[in-house]
Amino acid sequence: MVIGGTDRICHTCEEVYRMPLSLVQMGPADFARRRGPLIASYARAIENSRRLPAAQARAAAELDVAERLPRGPATRGHLLRKALVGGAEVGWIWVSLPGTSVPEAAWINDIEVDPEFRSRGYAGAIITAAEAELAGLGVARLGLNVFGDNGPALRLYQRLGFEVTAQQYGRSLTEVTAPDGIELVPMADYESRIEALFADYAQDLVDEQGLWHGEAEARAARKLSELLPHGARTEGMILRTVLARGVPVGWVWAGLPESPRPHLGWLHNIEIDEPHRGRGHGSAAIAAIEAELARRDVPGIGLNVHGSNVGARRLYQRLGYQLLAQQMARQLPAG
């Protein structure tokens, strides 16, 4: 998402600024004009967040836009609107309706204010206008993704009442050293650990997204079958018990690189059992799995952190992980 920039001295712009903003349906010619800059900005963002070479990032952006908007602004389930102020086009927004990108929420895929109109409050006005349209359609929740280096967008969304629901962090795996006293061995208690993990995941869906228990459990079961179709023997997955000087203290689950992050391994879960917490085993276990991935020539590692898990966010920041992206959401007023 491209928000920010500098103002130009423009008396006409000042006159436009005082007029109300409206959103109108984008036509094919509008989309054709916007498509190139959309792909370019998206490619730059995923180049950083997925650690991809520029050419691969560009190809990924092209493919994603083509798959999600096969009919451009006429694609079902998507709202593409240009923003007008006093007849002047100042920017645009692309929103997916619930069930298109995210099951329970509308999703802002892109919003852009044109350079000569930036820093005048139009980004917030565009989002507010889109929210009003969505509320009129009965949409109750709106979410979005912010890439880690987009500070102006993050501050804007915080001002508008969006709250962080999840964050992704990453770091390179150069100069990784395995810690002393920590050993990773094949899991002996896979079934009970995974059952507890996905039961917690189902409960999170109930608490955070308002799903009823049956639907949450079904979705958790589908997620499990997608990630671990062959259980502990699933190719590309590393599931280990964590031993601290020979004593089992927890477990860790990581995955080898795959699409859409072909250069990042992924830390799916790490858990230190309650009696052994507060002794540095968590940091040591992370270092151990980093070392195992590095031995497999994996250049980097990423992970997901729940938005409310402040302790985990601080831990990963302390260990040198950098914010790649984060998801935010807010409830919309009834239409």
- CA 256 to chain centroid: 19
- CA 208 to chain centroid: 16
pLDDT at res. 11: 37
pLDDT at res. 18: 59
pLDDT at res. 3: 36
pLDDT at res. 93: 98
Neighbours of 206 (CB within 10 A): 14
C-alpha to C-alpha distance for 214 and 151, rounded to whole angstroms:
39
pLDDT at res. 15: 46
pLDDT at res. 8: 32
pLDDT at res. 7: 31
Which CATH number is associated with domain 174-298? Answer: 3.40.630.30
| Residue whose C-alpha is closest to residue 77's, from 112, 102, 60 | 102
Q: Which residues contact 207 (CB under 8 A, 6 or more apart)?
A: none
- In which element (H, E) is residue 118 found? none
pLDDT at res. 12: 41
Cα torsion angle, 284, 285, 290, 294, sign: positive
Beta pairing, strands 300-306 & 78-85: unpaired
Could you tell me the residue ranges of all domains in the chain? 11-166, 174-298
Which backbone phi and psi does 227 adopt, to 5 degrees?
-80, -40
Beta bridge partners of 163: 329
Residues of the chain with pLDDT under 70: 1-18, 335
pLDDT at res. 73: 96
Beta pairing, strands 141-147 & 300-306: unpaired
Collapsing DSSP states into helix, strand and coil, what is residue 162? Answer: coil
Cα first-last separation, the chain: 27
pLDDT at res. 46: 87
Collapsing DSSP states into helix, strand and coil, what is residue 266? Answer: strand
Beta bridge partners of 325: 147, 168
C-alpha to C-alpha distance for 102 and 73, rounded to whole angstroms:
19
> 210's torsion region: left (phi>0), alpha (psi -120 to 50) or beta?
left
* CATH fold match for the domains 11-166 and 174-298: yes
Length of the chain: 335
**What kind of fold does domain 11-166 have according to CATH?**
Aminopeptidase (3.40.630)
Q: Which residues contact 290 (CB under 8 A, 6 or more apart)?
A: 173, 176, 301
**Which amino acid type is present at position 139?**
V
pLDDT at res. 5: 32
